[in-house]
């Protein structure tokens, strides 16, 4: 199979960015599903999508759709992705992959059982500058990597009813913003061997700031910072014994970086040239995994998405954030 036919589940801002990048890349976007016909029709008109469905059930039942991009808020990812998988569709699921590790493992297992792609839409991993960074690391240019640091900090709405601050909607800086630096750290250093986290909670119980210090195999250390109440530099650094990489703002989007030697000499400078936002690279990769029959990402396997959700669970446990759904499930 080549040239998968895409359906988009939900019509929010991230769905619009993804649809635009699919069009930029010339991929086949054939359907959209929303919770109302009006919303679906409006989205379809914006992006010249031939079929607009008034329900998610109708979208996943559409025989012309091969793969569904799940773009709802993360508390809905598990149910929405499960709906698509049970209908026989491959899924690309927005990050954070799910609300917790248990939900992530359920999706991974269901995809494996059905022979379907289940992939987290951590689009940063598929960007050209990240591909070059992995090449540099693999070549040994940095020597032994000793430390990684990254932040994702934004000044976002403080209204208690806003999705980002509502625990029942999975609110908090960690799952919306912190997932980026945590996933990046995993990409460079692998699984943490220890996790220490601190955070500041707001009146709703959601986390507004979270900082982590983690250790990794070989003794390397990492630090991350996420905040929804203040805008920081949004940069990242990978420090090795022979050189370091400094990624400019905004590090998790198409940007520039430099390889710098210990004496300050710039050995390499990379500047991204990407059409659109850059979300098309993950979609192109997803099509490749289906076409070649691997049905799993080589850059972010489903098992790693599950494990990263486990790290986020541990961070939340340490800072005292528990979602109402988890309380209802576990008491």
Per-residue model confidence as pLDDT tens digits over 157-214: 999 989 899 998 999 999 999 999 999 999 999 999 999 999 999 999 999 999 999 9
Query: If you ran DSSP here, which 8-state letter would residue 134 be given?
Result: H
Q: CA dihedral in degrees (197, 126, 148, 248; nearest 10)? A: -110
What is the bridge-based pairing of β-strands 90-94 and 266-271? Answer: unpaired
Kindly give the pairing relationship between strand 28-33 and strand 5-9: parallel
Structure confidence at residue 1 (pLDDT): 42
The pLDDT assigned to 331 comes to 47
Buried b (16+ CB within 10 A) or exposed e, 254-287: bbebbbbeeeeeeeeebebebeebbbbbbbebbb
Count of positions (residues) in the chain: 331
pLDDT digits (tens, 9 = 90+) for 202-251: 999 999 999 999 999 999 999 999 999 999 999 999 999 999 999 999 99
Closest among 42, 107, 114, 51 to 76, alpha carbons compared: 107
Q: What is the pLDDT of residue 219?
A: 96
What is the distance between the alpha carbons of residues 198 and 200, in angstroms, rounded to a whole number? 7
pTM as predicted: 0.96
166 contact partners, CB below 8 Å, separation of at least 6: 160, 204, 206
- Residue 95 per-residue DSSP state: S
Strand partners, 213: 196, 223
Place of tokens 């979602």: 323
pLDDT 10s digits, 314-327: 999 999 999 988 87
Q: 3-state DSSP call for residue 40?
A: helix
Tens-place pLDDT, residues 269-308: 999 999 999 999 999 999 999 999 999 999 999 999 999 9
183: Cα separation from own chain's centroid:
8
In what helix (H) or strand (E) does residue 312 lie, and over which residues does it extend?
helix 302-319
Beta-strand relationship, 236-240 and 145-153: antiparallel
pLDDT at 3: 86
Please tell me the predicted confidence (pLDDT) of residue 328: 62
Q: What is the pLDDT of residues 29-87, one digit of tens each?
A: 999 999 999 999 999 999 999 999 999 999 999 999 999 999 999 999 999 999 999 99
Mean pLDDT of 96-112: 97
Copy the structure tokens of residue 198.
């601190």
Burial class (CB in 10 A: 0-12, 13-18, 19+), 215: middle
Q: What is the mean pLDDT of the chain?
A: 96
Q: Please state the domain extents for the chain.
A: 5-121, 128-273+309-330
The DSSP code for 267 is: E
Of the candidates 152, 146, 161, 261, the one whose C-alpha atom is nearest the C-alpha of residue 202 is 161
Q: Are 43 and 11 in contact (CB under 8 A)?
A: yes
CATH H superfamily, domain 128-273+309-330: Dihydrodipicolinate Reductase; domain 2 (3.30.360.10)
pLDDT of 330 > 70? The answer is no
Given this model, what pLDDT does residue 2 score? Answer: 57
Euclidean distance between CA atoms 188 and 203, whole angstroms: 35
- Identify the band that residue 329 occupies on the pLDDT scale cut at 50, 70 and 90: low
Question: Tokens for 73?
Answer: 């808020």
CATH code of the region 5-121: 3.40.50.720
Distance CA 61, CA 56 (A): 9
CA end-to-end span of the chain = 46
Distance CA 245, CA 238 (A): 5
The secondary structure of residue 248, as a DSSP letter, is P
């Amino acid at each position: 199979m080549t040239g998968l036919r895409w359906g988009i589940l939900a019509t929010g801002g991230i769905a619009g960015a993804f649809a635009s990048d699919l069009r930029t890349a010339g991929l086949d976007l054939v359907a959209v599903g929303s919770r109302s016909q009006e919303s679906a029709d409006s989205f379809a008109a914006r992006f010249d999508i031939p079929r607009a469905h008034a329900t998610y059930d109708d979208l996943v039942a559409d025989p012309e759709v091969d793969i569904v991009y799940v773009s709802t808020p993360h508390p809905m990812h598990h149910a929405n992705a499960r709906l698509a998988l049970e209908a026989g569709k491959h899924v690309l699921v927005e990050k954070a992959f799910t609300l917790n590790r248990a939900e992530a493992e359920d999706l991974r297992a269901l995809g494996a059982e059905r022979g379907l792609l289940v992939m987290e839409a951590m689009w940063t991993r598929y960007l050209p500058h990240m591909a070059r960074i992995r090449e540099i690391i693999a070549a040994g240019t940095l020597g032994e990597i000793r430390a990684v640091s990254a932040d994702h900090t934004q000044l976002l709405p403080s209204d208690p009813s806003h999705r980002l601050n509502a625990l029942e909607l999975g609110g908090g800086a960690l799952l919306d913003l912190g997932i980026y630096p945590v996933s990046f750290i995993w990409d460079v250093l692998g699984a943490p061997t220890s996790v220490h986290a601190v955070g500041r909670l707001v009146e709703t119980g959601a986390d507004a700031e979270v900082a982590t210090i983690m250790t990794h195999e070989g003794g390397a250390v990492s630090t991350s910072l996420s905040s929804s109440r203040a805008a920081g530099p949004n940069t990242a650094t990978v420090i090795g014994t022979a050189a370091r990489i400094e990624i400019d703002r905004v590090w998790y989007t198409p940007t520039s970086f430099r390889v710098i030697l210990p004496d300050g000499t710039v050995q390499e400078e990379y500047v991204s040239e990407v059409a659109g936002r850059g979300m098309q690279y993950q979609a192109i990769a997803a099509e490749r995994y289906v076409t070649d029959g691997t049905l799993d990402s080589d850059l972010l396997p489903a098992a790693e998405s599950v494990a990263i959700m486990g790290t986020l669970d541990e961070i939340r446990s340490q800072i005292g954030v528990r979602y109402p759904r988890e309380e209802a499930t576990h008491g």
